[in-house]
């Protein structure tokens, strides 16, 4: 696709910054017809988007089936609001958020990432750019559009 992005990844976690990233991805899709992937990573130890729990490694549990269903329903609702919803893919993954995003980028060959500056764990933002965003910026060779 000349002059635009063809394949855009949008990591989503329900945070205000990720909602802004969704809005920007909609604009980009409207401008260039890009294929969009909405990715939600259900991190080990998270019982839901609204509750962040940090566990020792021996206490980590996979997300429960209800979390998967809720996340999938939410992403499908968001997908329907895109200018070209038939060009939007919903992807759920499990694992450490930052490395799972990087693995998805490497595996699927995206040419742009649009993401928030911090996610739901944004308490540290006053000290640093969100750790997931910082990790992605340091480990990819494609453009990353960061919205706050």
Which pLDDT belongs to residue 44? 62
Which pLDDT belongs to residue 138? 93
Which pLDDT belongs to residue 3? 53
Residues 6+ apart with CB under 8 A from 23: none
List the structure tokens of 129: 């750019």
Placement of tokens 């993401």 in the chain: 115
Cα separation, 62 vs 83, whole angstroms:
34
Using only the alpha carbons of the chain, give its radius of gyration.
Answer: 15
Q: What is the pLDDT of residues 64-75, one digit of tens each?
A: 888 889 999 999
Placement of tokens 């499908």 in the chain: 76
List the structure tokens of 44: 């080990």
CATH of domain 7-147: 3.40.50.620
What residue ranges do the domains of the chain occupy? 7-147
Which pLDDT belongs to residue 63? 73
Which pLDDT belongs to residue 56? 38
146: left (phi over 0), alpha (psi -120 to 50) or beta: beta
Residues 6+ apart with CB under 8 A from 72: 90, 92
Residue 19 pLDDT exceeds 70: yes
Which pLDDT belongs to residue 131? 82
Cα separation, 71 vs 12, whole angstroms:
10
Q: What is the pLDDT of residues 107-134, one digit of tens each?
A: 999 999 999 986 655 444 444 456 888 8
Which pLDDT belongs to residue 117? 87
Q: What is the pLDDT of residues 3-17, one digit of tens each?
A: 579 999 999 999 899
Share the mean pLDDT of the chain. Answer: 83
C-beta of residue 144 within 8 angstroms of C-beta of residue 137: yes
Cα separation, 139 vs 52, whole angstroms:
25
Instruction: Over range 58-67, report the average pLDDT.
Output: 69
Q: What is the pLDDT of residues 74-114, one digit of tens each?
A: 999 999 999 999 999 999 999 889 999 999 999 999 999 99
Cα separation, 105 vs 1, whole angstroms:
19
């Amino acid at each position: 696709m000349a002059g635009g992005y063809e394949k855009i990844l949008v990591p989503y976690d329900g945070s205000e910054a990720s909602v802004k990233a969704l809005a920007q991805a909609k604009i980009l899709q409207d401008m260039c017809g890009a294929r969009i992937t909405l990715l939600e990573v259900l991190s080990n130890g998270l019982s839901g988007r609204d509750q962040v729990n940090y566990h020792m490694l021996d206490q980590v549990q996979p997300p429960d089936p209800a979390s998967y269903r809720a996340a999938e329903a939410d992403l499908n609702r968001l997908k329907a609001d895109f200018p070209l919803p038939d060009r939007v893919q919903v992807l759920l993954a499990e694992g450490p958020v930052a490395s799972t995003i990087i693995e998805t980028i490497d595996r699927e060959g995206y040419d742009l990432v649009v993401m928030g500056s911090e996610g739901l764990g944004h308490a540290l933002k006053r000290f640093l750019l969100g750790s997931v965003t910082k990790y992605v910026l340091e480990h990819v060779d494609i453009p990353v559009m960061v919205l706050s």
